[in-house]
Amino acid sequence: MKKKVEKSRDEWKESLSPEEFHILREKGTEPAFTGKYMDNKKKGLYLCAGCQNKLFSSDTKFDSGSGWPSFWESISDENIEMKEDNSLGMQRIEVLCARCGGHLGHVFDDGPNPTGKRFCINSAAMLFKGEKKESEKEK
């Protein structure tokens, strides 16, 4: 993983959209079934919207029916952090970007094999970088 990204609150506000700032820096969430990557079926990588850290691959994305893009595995355990979250009267595990500390979503133990994990991640916390087609690679 690359060097940690540290910015002041004002610097984050300047570099992120209001929705990205609310989710990544204030631990917000987008309404279920509204995120731009909810139904994305393209091949590629999902990066942190705050620092472009590689988070998830489309190869591990699945339809969980939860209302948020869901993945059964991260690209690397080194690229994310997981912390206990007892807010809102619930016991959950929060998923954070290990590079910038941005809030991504939560992980649950009711996902598919082979991991049994369900990473529910806010679309606004991510950027999608699609794979180039063979014809585009030659150019």
What percent of the chain shows pLDDT beyond 70? 94
Does the pLDDT at position 119 exceed 70?
yes
Annotated catalytic residues are 120
Q: Is pLDDT of 129 > 70?
A: yes
Q: Please give the C-alpha separations between residue 50 and each of 20, 101, 110, 135, in angstroms, as whole numbers.
A: 8, 9, 28, 31
Q: What is the DSSP letter of 5?
A: P
pTM higher than 0.75: yes
Which pLDDT tens digit goes with each residue over 7-38?
Answer: 999 999 999 999 999 999 999 999 999 999 99
Mean pLDDT of 97-110: 97
What's the rounded Cα separation, in Å, for the pair 99 and 62?
25
Residues across the chain: 139
Q: What is the pLDDT of residue 26?
A: 97
Task: Provide the pLDDT for residue 136.
Answer: 52
Predicted local confidence at residue 1, as pLDDT: 55
Question: Domains in the chain, ordered, with CATH?
Answer: 9-129 (2.170.150.20)
